[in-house]
Structure 1
Amino acid sequence: MKDLKSYSLYLGKLAVQSLIEEAELTPKPGLVDKKSSGSHRDMSLNTMIRSAIALEDTFREIAETSFNRTPSQELREEIAMIGRRGEQEMLLATGGVNTHKGAIWALGLLVSSAAMDLGKSPGNEVVVQAGRLARYDDRNLPAGKTNGSRVKARYGVDGARGEAEQGFPHIRQIALPALAESRERGLKEDFCRINVLIALMAELNDTCILHRGGAEALESTKAHAKEIVMAGGVASDKGWQLLEQLDQSLCSRNVSPGGSADLLAAAIFLDYLDQNAQNAKSGFRRLEALQI
């Protein structure tokens, strides 16, 4: 059996690595990357990296707290409290800029789910179990409206909470299949991941876009992203040209697909979990063969 402390440390580092790799992925329309700050005048790539690193202890503590447990009201409220402390660490690291609040929610649930059985479940089961945990209410949630709750009330969309409560359907049904399909085509990994982001943008009712640009900006963004998908993704000349146009459109509107970026980071995390699990199984099979 894996050691609890070492596996918790591994999950914490993996969550941070996923956030950093999402931030560094370039180019990303309307988002912070190596090229620019996109639509975020108050952020930079260094800000995103500082924020991610500051969250390692948060994810590690969530993992330790979740070991050998099942989804429950008590666990939901315990990791929520850890997550709120993590938000304060994030704000301290960024000088008050909200870089990863949505990612703390999504990755916190996934880290918790992965830690419950020390990684024995594949990624598609991790997201479903995370959904069961998300469906418990946090009775200690501070009073007050958030940007997400305002957007949900105004536009009737599910938002980050609804996505989690349903077991992250956009990760299961869109992100991970898009990643697999792009890899099967032999594309380099950065193209594969940008294709995942675009596939998410084409389908997700991204509350970050709604908050900053309204319904028209969301529908325009989804339509533009679907054009890129239909063009064969960003590896095609037309798809790349459309990607550049989408970036210009989002930046001119001061709109950012932050919800899609959070789900991309979560998909990267789950993909690494599955890869590492497969590598471990392969190593065990090789060891068995040597012992025959």
Structure 2
Amino acid sequence: MRLALRDIGYALSPAQIAEYAVDALIAEARLTPKPALVDERGSGAHRDLDLNTMLRSAHSLAPTFLAIARASASVDAKPSQALREQLARIGREGEAAMMRATDGSNAHRGAIWIVGLLCAGAAMNASDDSEAICLSAAEIARFEDRYAPSSAATTHGAKVSERYRVAGARGEARQGFPHALRIGLPALDDARARGLNETDARLDTLIAIIASLDDTCLLHRGGMRALQTAQHGARRVIEHGGVSSIKGRIALNELDDALMQLNASPGGAADLLAATLFLDSLRRMA
């Protein structure tokens, strides 16, 4: 029988889980320099976003993540159709709040889904075990939302996933977040073990995710050419020793230039970096 987290003395309350989720979004937004993404240098390939907008968006989602964590931490909470639809409703309300905070810019729609599900997974598990958190989140994601608006099937991500036959954010969640769990966290651990500073460690983590992910944001903005450019460029950064090496930093700058020319950014990878940082924050609190 699943116990409520308050009954077993879990270290993190729903409020703390929500705080860590927001912190992860802020850390991802501030990380600099990221290829063609919003950061402290500027807007990257995004005309309707800047760092201040990203930060407003992140802060606006605190009530959403809190509501998700509270719903998932209750005595009766378990992956189910009912919980999936409850969280979907909370997520849609959160998206509306985000759009108000950003004057209509879609800053974190993907992150509401990805990080929101991980908040649910964290609230349902009595440990900091990333595997268990991702498994619970994936079990929730595998249920259909019977009340999803018809527009959900026509989002950019949904159309790109169907056209190019890639997993997209929905598939990533249903598969247990492999790019956070199997690529992001190991890359972050490896970079820290090599003595990299935290900024370079997180940049190397982002690059590892870009190199592997079939990013629907890239596919939407620039088609297969953009995706291949991003993956090839990220692999060059890795082959040259990562962003902390001179050649690796040059390769990172070249990747940034190439994606800017295509007006395409790896927004899906950015969301999964935020997911990785969220999972990492839970591990580090243990």
TM-score tier by shorter-chain length is: over 0.9
> Does residue 77 of structure 1 match 2:85?
yes
Question: Residue 87 of structure 1 aligns to which amino acid in structure 2?
Answer: E
- With structure 2 as the length reference, what TM-score do the two structures score? 0.94
Question: Residue 182 of structure 1 aligns to which amino acid in structure 2?
Answer: A
Q: CA deviation at 1:174?
A: 0.7
Q: CA deviation at 1:171?
A: 1.1
> Does residue 138 of structure 1 match 2:162?
no
> Does residue 109 of structure 1 match 2:109?
no
2:105 pairs, out of 84, 97, 100, with 97
Question: Residue 22 of structure 1 aligns to which amino acid in structure 2?
Answer: E
CA deviations 1:164-199 (Å, max 9, x no partner) are 000011111111000000000000000000001000
Q: Quick one: distance in 2 between partners of 1:107 and 1:38?
A: 23
CA deviations 1:198-234 (Å, max 9, x no partner) are 0000000000000000011111110110011111110
CA deviations 1:97-139 (Å, max 9, x no partner) are 000000000011000111113x424112101211111000011
Q: Could you tell me which residue of structure 1 aligns to residue 53 of structure 2?
A: 47
Q: Could you tell me which residue of structure 2 aligns to residue 64 of structure 1?
A: 70
Contact 2:35 2:256 in 1 (8 A): yes
> Does residue 36 of structure 1 match 2:45?
no
Contact 2:160 2:219 in 1 (8 A): yes
1:19 pairs, out of 12, 19, 25, with 25
Q: Quick one: distance in 1 between partners of 2:72 and 2:260?
A: 40
Question: Residue 173 of structure 1 aligns to which amino acid in structure 2?
Answer: R
Q: Could you tell me which residue of structure 2 aligns to residue 285 of structure 1?
A: none
Question: Residue 279 of structure 2 aligns to which amino acid in structure 1?
Answer: L
Question: Residue 79 of structure 1 aligns to which amino acid in structure 2?
Answer: L
Question: Residue 105 of structure 2 aligns to which amino acid in structure 1?
Answer: V
Q: Quick one: distance in 1 between partners of 2:87 and 2:160?
A: 25
Rg comparison, structure with higher value: 1
SS of 1:78's equivalent in the other structure is: helix
Matches within 5 A, 1:1-292: 2=6, 7-67=13-73, 68=75, 69-117=77-125, 119-144=126-151, 145-277=154-286
SS of 1:14's equivalent in the other structure is: helix
Q: Structure 1 runs of 4+ off > 4 angstroms? A: 1-4
Q: Quick one: distance in 2 between partners of 1:261 and 1:121?
A: 22
Question: Residue 48 of structure 1 aligns to which amino acid in structure 2?
Answer: M
Q: Quick one: distance in 2 between partners of 1:219 and 1:185?
A: 28
Provide structure 2 residue ranges, at least 5 long, that are not aligned to the other structure.
none
Contact 2:180 2:276 in 1 (8 A): yes
CA deviations 1:39-69 (Å, max 9, x no partner) are 0111110000000000000000001111132
Question: Residue 58 of structure 1 aligns to which amino acid in structure 2?
Answer: T
Q: Quick one: distance in 1 between partners of 2:103 and 2:179?
A: 32
SS of 1:34's equivalent in the other structure is: coil
Deviates most, 78-87 or 246-255: 246-255
Question: Residue 73 of structure 1 aligns to which amino acid in structure 2?
Answer: Q
Q: Quick one: distance in 1 between partners of 2:207 and 2:273?
A: 10
- With structure 1 as the length reference, what TM-score do the two structures score? 0.92
Q: Could you tell me which residue of structure 2 aligns to residue 289 of structure 1?
A: none
Q: Quick one: distance in 2 between partners of 1:250 and 1:125?
A: 36
Q: Quick one: distance in 2 between partners of 1:103 and 1:122?
A: 21
| Alignment: residue pair count | 276
Provide structure 1 residue ranges, at least 5 long, that are not aligned to the other structure.
278-292
Q: Percent identity?
A: 49
Q: Quick one: distance in 1 between partners of 2:210 and 2:70?
A: 33
Question: Residue 149 of structure 2 aligns to which amino acid in structure 1?
Answer: P
